[in-house]
Amino acid sequence: MTSIYDIPSPFFGEKIKLRAVEMSDLSDIMKHWNSYETRVSLGKYVPSSSKEREDWIKKVNEQASKGESFTFAIVHKESEEFLGTVALKRINMINRGASLSVSIHNPENQNKGYGTDATRCILKIGFNIFNLHRIELHVYEFTANAVHVYEKLGFKKVGVRREASYIIGKYRNDLVMDILEEEFDEIYG
């Protein structure tokens, strides 16, 4: 019989691991959260104060206590450097659905494989721990690297919210993407 200790933890990826977000992460969050590229890609139009981010940490921990949403810190597996966050939000236990979001805060840490790794982990957490049936996300069409990551991991484009977002002088499309439990099982076994 397989022991639980033989089952790899979904909280560990190849390069990163996921853990709870702590108030002590605030200074790391403030280092890069307001980076223009990251913020705009996440629809945060204006920079956040440290008070606003402190309230956010409190809020995500309250939501986790209630089982509504789970937000995890993404940290480097060896150095434990804080890289960003990944979340399953709006968990609905009737539909067994949730919304996913992910961000690697420092633009210099983007395109190094961390986002793919963290998103793969949160999919395993969603389907294998929370027993979800469907995970969806919304992504700006112009964030081509993000769309590529999600497609690579098995998400399908299921809709376009045409010109739904006014960002830096122009109306832009949002994509709705999702992945179903059976599709996850087919890819990840």
The whole-angstrom distance between residue 128's C-alpha and the CA centroid of its chain comes to 17
The whole-angstrom distance between residue 25's C-alpha and the CA centroid of its chain comes to 17
Q: Tell which one of 26, 42, 64, 176 touches ligand COA (CB under 6 A).
A: 42
First-to-last C-alpha distance (Å) of the chain: 19
Smaller CB distance to ligand COA: residue 19 or 152?
Answer: 152
Q: Is 115 in the site for ligand COA (CB under 6 A)?
A: yes
Q: Is 113 in the site for ligand COA (CB under 6 A)?
A: yes
For ligand COA, which stretch binds (CB under 6 A), given 11-19, 74-82, 136-144, 162-170? 136-144
Q: Is 159 in the site for ligand COA (CB under 6 A)?
A: no
Q: Is 145 in the site for ligand COA (CB under 6 A)?
A: yes
Smaller CB distance to ligand COA: residue 131 or 145?
Answer: 145
Angle, to 10 degrees, between the axis of helix 114-124 and the axis of helix 181-188? 120
Rounded to whole angstroms, how far apart are CA atoms 57 and 161? Answer: 30
